[in-house]
Each structure stands twice: as structure tokens, then as C-alpha cells.
Amino acid sequence: MAKSSKPRLTKMAPAKESPEPELSEDESEEDVSAEEKEEDTPAAEDGSKKTFADLGVIESLCEACENLGYKYPTPIQEQAIPIMLEGRDVIGLAETGSGKTAAFVIPMLTALMDKPQSFFGLIMAPTRELAYQISQQVEALGSLINVKCAVLVGGMDMVPQSIALGKKPHVIVATPGRLLDHLENTKGFSLKHLKYLVMDEADRLLDLDFGPILDKILKVLPREGRRTYLFSATMSSKVESLQRASLHNPLRVSISSSSHQTVAGLLQKYMFIPHKHKDIYLVHLLNDNIGHPVIIFTRTVNETQRIAILLRTLGFGAIPLHGQLSQSARLGALSKFKSRSRDILVATDVAARGLDIPAVDLVVNLDLPPDSKTYVHRVGRTARAGKSGKAVSFVTQYDVEMWLRIENALGKKVDEEPIPKDEAMVLAERVGEAQRVAIREMKELHEGRGKKGAVLKGRKGGKRGRDEMDREEG
């Protein structure tokens, strides 16, 4: 029996018809100017307790939400989903951990069930890990209706990805560089009939200088009959200019009260310490949090690797995550941390955005981030989905100016975390021994750099499909 050229969706429920409004150029301009006047939708009050069915979500997707433990919509879902089901383009702004992914996946799947076709939706994300995470949520929400999803990311063999595209998936989740590689080089692959485009962490896509690649991709996508969603925790001028080029009559849905909003359940602290004693105070802090999942953020790949070795030498279950690990090693590190076989993840900013690791109790900024937006995203790895969490930032004599800028962006003074010096310095000798071990092992890693299987691989320049996150870790 010959296979149908159109992928089938099973258990289809009739979607509510939401005809796309036909706008004249004048009406479109009027709506854009209204959007400029902050046509923001306020957050719903907690007491409303609307269900997904109340938002107009069809039965099979309500059932999928229930199976995933989504009892009630989050504020961004409650505000954005009804608008999207009406056929509007949306710019969604909400703090990290607020349920943005389901907010754009549910309307897309609703429309897909109404008119099934291959290459129906495209979701672009800035990092491989986020792309895989989004694809898992698409497949989970679409499990009852047999949705097929393909992931296109750098650092992986293009041939299996081309084979996956040949199976005509409904939804593609991709990083921009690898998507463009396939558009240019994979025979028979075209997005000329695309109906939905989502740019998740849109400001991050542009911060990583994907602008020229995004321009090339947007040129080959259809403009008419396409719904477009931009989602992010923060709004930048770059995103503002991007939405002008690719959205029609957009409505902004904003849950964050400021561009540096953090969730209410997050306790923020800082420690003012001498730079030379950072490792000692880190070990003291971790001793007080044994058994709790912790993410430690560092500035460089080298420091991430060194801290992981140092902590393992001292008996902590630490595992590194950075852009110079192989893709399988990166996914393996995340998997071990999520499954709690390792309780400390030492990471560069490759882990700062979008990753949903709901059980993190403590975030440590061992090195302060380069800007306040990155700070918000780092500390957003804890206190997710209504839970509480804590973030501690190390401030040395060299970091005072940066810390004051972060506090100014937050609009408040952060309390100091008191740690008696005498208690911390008791650990100096043991930490010193571990530092020597770490220095020796780091030397061996650097000497083996470039060899097969090396952890620190060095850079390969020029290829667009290489690890796209390395651009921010230089």
C-alpha cells in the first residue's frame, strides 16, 4: 500500500473556526501604531483559575495538558492562547519559567489538527538544548494526535536529519544555522507552504548575531497566510525591529512588569568576598546545600571545566556543561542532572536560557554575568513553576561596578549572604589540594586539545552548522 504524501493526524477533534482577518494596508498600519502604544494585556489574577477548556483549547489537547500535569494555564498561557486561537500574530513577553513553550505550541497544534499538512510549523531556538527541549514538549502535547516532529541542530550529522525531513514531519524545531544549511543543501526540502513560525528566546537569537542568517531564512518563508509568534523574557530594540519585518498586525502580550522581572518565589543574595578565596567560599556554600540540586554559572569554558574537576576531587557530584563538549556529552550532562545522578551542574551561559530543569534549589553566580539580562535568565533556572528557590552571586573587589548595575536594573538592593570568614577558611587546606589536582588535570586536557575524544576541542571556524552557542563563550 502506497504511503500517503500527507502525514495523518489521528483522533482529530473539530477545531473552532478562526478566519484570518483580511486587513487593508491602512488597517494594518493602524494596528501597528496601536501596538507601539503598549497594547499590553495585563496578567490574570491568581483567583481566576481558568481551565484550558475555558481558553478554547480542544478536548484532545486539554487531555494532553492534563496528562502532563498542567492543571491550570499560567498567566502567559491564559492571556496569549485565546488571542492566538483567533488568528492573531503575537509578541509574548514573560519571565523565564512561565510556560511560554506550551503557550505557542497549543495554538499551533490546534490549527494543525484542523488542516493537517507536512512542514506546517517551524520553531527556531538559539541553542541545541532548548531545541531538543521544545521538540519534547511538542511531541508530548501532540502525542494523542500523532504529531511528528524533527529537530535540526548544529554539531550533529546532517544525513539523519535529512532522512527525518524526508518523512515529512508536521513541525520542525531548529537552530538557525543548521536550518539554513538544510534549506540550501537538502534536496526536496522547502518551507514554501509553512503556516506557523515561532521564534523562541527571540532576543537571544539576535544577540548571538544570527541576524544575517534569519534574514535569509525569512526571505524563503511565505508571508501570506502565515502566523508568526515572537516569545522572550525580555524585549530588545533588535527584536522590535525584527517583528516589524515578519509579523502582521501583532498584539503584544506582556506578563512581566519590567524587562528585568524575576519570579516572586526567588530569594536573591550576594556574597562580598576576596577574589582569591572564591573557591573556598563556594565549597563552604555547597557544604550547606548538600543533597540539593545546584547550578553554578561561570564565565568561561575553562573555568567551568576546572570547577567541575575541583568539586569532584572534593567528593561532590559535579558535571560540566559548556559549548565545547560534544552534543552527546551535553545532552548526557543534562540528563544526569535532571535524573539526580549528579546534583551539581557547572555551566557557562549555554544553560542560562530556556532550559526547564524544575528541581533546581540553588543557582550560584560564581562569575557575575556580563549584563543584567543574562543575570535574570541565570537566576530564572530556579524558582520555576511556582516553586521557591535561591540565587547567590559572588561579588569580588573587581565586580562591584557590575553588581551595582545589576541591582539598578532589578530596581532593588539585594541582601548580603552572611558567611563567617573563620568558618569558610577552615576549608582552605583541602580546597588548596583540590585546586592543585584541578590545575594538573586542566594542563593534561589542554595538552590533549584537538585530539579525538578531547573535552576541550578548540574551535573550528567558518562552518555555519557548528555549535552556534560557542559565539557567546569566546
Q: What is the CATH number of domain 25-254?
A: 3.40.50.300
When pLDDT is averaged across residues 48-73 and rounded to a whole number, the result is 88
Question: Fold identical between 25-254 and 266-450?
Answer: yes
- Per-residue confidence (pLDDT) for residue 385, from 0 to 100: 57
Q: What does the mean pLDDT of the chain come to?
A: 80
Q: How many residues can be counted in the chain?
A: 474
- pLDDT at residue 115 greater than cutoff 80: yes
Q: What fold characterizes domain 266-450?
A: Rossmann fold (3.40.50)
Q: For residue 463, what pLDDT band results from cuts at 50, 70 and 90?
A: very low
Give 308-353 pLDDT, tens digit per residue. Answer: 999 999 999 999 998 888 878 888 888 888 888 899 999 998 766 6
CA distance 120 to 100: 20
- Per-residue confidence (pLDDT) for residue 168, from 0 to 100: 95
- pLDDT at residue 455 greater than cutoff 90: no
- Relative orientation angle of helices 100-114 and 59-67, to the nearest 10 degrees: 150
CA distance 299 to 369: 7
- pLDDT at residue 457 greater than cutoff 80: no
Domain positions in the chain are 25-254, 266-450
pTM of this prediction? Answer: 0.59
